[in-house]
Amino acid sequence: MKAKILLYALPALIFTILHLAQAQQPKKIPRIGLLNFGSSEADRPRQQSFLAGLHYLGWFEGQNIAIERRYANESRNQLLDIAAELVRLRVDVIVALDSVAIRPAMQATGTIPIVMAVSGDPVEAGLVDSLARPGGNVTGLSNVSPQLAGKRLELVKETVPGVSKVAVLGPPTHEDWIEIGFAALQQKVWLQTLQVREPEEFEKAFEAARTKRAKALIVLPSPTTNYYPEKIVSLAAKYRLPAMYGLSSYVTVGGLMSYAPRLSALYRRAAYYVDRILMGAKPADLPVEQPTKFELVINLKTAEDLGLTIPPLVLMRADKVIK
């Protein structure tokens, strides 16, 4: 009888021991890889917004998630290496905190989910199949909106009296060229395209704008221009060109004005994609979102240096004014 009781009790005892052993093992927490083209200092504001979004959704570093941060310090070769390193670490998701980091992440992995915090036009760039159904392992946010180019040109016309010639600075492949061309036709403005591939070409582009007597400048946001705001702002001051920028960081360092998506909102929203992926969603099924919040920033000190008076109606619409 005792032998029978022991025989029946043994499986239950083994199950209990195994269950207790599993319960005592530490639970694996998800690992997020942050891929940055810039430096840790330059990317700090982006990470703060992203982390705020994670906190809102209940994710806290060191508690229920781990974060692997990698910085390329503006080296494209280094970017490829650190993307591969994140793959070797077997992170659960890679977040590309700038548009330059997206393609290296895609080259490093075709299986680990990749979240784009900002991306220009990801369909035009071949990063996703469509905004509604990205396909593959990439999704996230675009910082391109159909109304941006026309709105920037409109604000330039309202701000610079009698302007009829506007130079536009950006890389040859920028998706805004066609859009801003249509806006120029509607607003009866002649455009001069200043196509640059490298920062060494900036000075030559500004000289060309002066030769053609452009009265204002629009700088398109791109990997070619985004990492050299001080250089471009300095050249705009040297050539006395009132300039509209695609990022508010230009205005912070002395640029005249910017009209752009609120980047902090995009980085915060990137946390939503990470949350969905960690909860089991596939990137291919998460639509790419376009920006819905924009801000106009104006630097009155720069306007004064240019001898320019910002019209009251434009000033009233500004979200931030630097004096």
Q: Label residues 223-256 b or e (16+ Cβ within 10 Å = b).
A: ebbbbebeebbebbbebebbbbbbbbbbbeebbb
Domain 148-261+294-322 of CATH type 3.40.50.2300: yes
The C-alpha torsion from 231 through 236 and 237 to 242, rounded to 10°, is -140
pLDDT digits (tens, 9 = 90+) for 75-101: 888 999 999 999 999 999 999 998 889
**From CA 47, how far away is CA 50, in angstroms rounded?**
5
**CA distance linking residue 293 with residue 288, whole number of Å:** 16
The token pair at 265 is 């909102």
DSSP per-residue string spanning 158-219: HHSTT--EEEEEE-TT-THHHHHHHHHHHHT-EEEEEE-SSGGGHHHHHHHHHHTT--EEEE
* DSSP category for residue 283: G
pLDDT in tens, the chain (323 residues): 555 554 555 555 555 555 554 545 556 899 999 999 888 887 888 899 999 999 999 999 999 999 999 999 988 889 999 999 999 999 999 999 988 899 999 999 999 999 999 887 888 788 999 999 999 999 999 987 767 888 999 999 999 999 999 999 988 777 778 888 888 998 999 999 999 988 899 999 999 999 999 999 999 888 788 778 999 999 999 999 999 998 888 999 999 999 998 888 999 999 999 999 999 999 999 999 998 889 999 999 999 999 999 999 999 999 999 98
Collapsed DSSP state (helix, strand, coil) of residue 7:
helix
Superfamily (CATH) of domain 31-144+263-285? Response regulator (3.40.50.2300)
Q: Which amino acid is located at 115 in the chain? A: V
Parallel, antiparallel, or unpaired for β 66-71 and 31-36? parallel
* CB distance 35 to 76 below 8 Å: no
Judge residue 69's burial from the number of C-beta atoms within 10 Å of its C-beta, 0-12 exposed, 13-18 middle, 19 or more buried: middle
Alpha helices, DSSP H only, in 67-175?
Answer: 76-88, 102-108, 148-159
DSSP secondary-structure letter at 144? Answer: -
For 167-188, b/e burial (b = at least 16 CB within 10 A) is: bbbbbeebbbbebbeebbeeee
Separation CA 259–CA 262 (nearest Å)? 9
* pTM exceeds 0.75: yes
Q: Is 30 helix (H, G, I), strand (E, B) or coil?
A: coil
Query: Which residues belong to CATH 3.40.50.2300 in the chain?
Result: 31-144+263-285, 148-261+294-322
Q: How many CA atoms lie within 13 A of 260 on its CB side?
A: 27
Distance between CA 31 and CA 159 in Å, rounded? 48
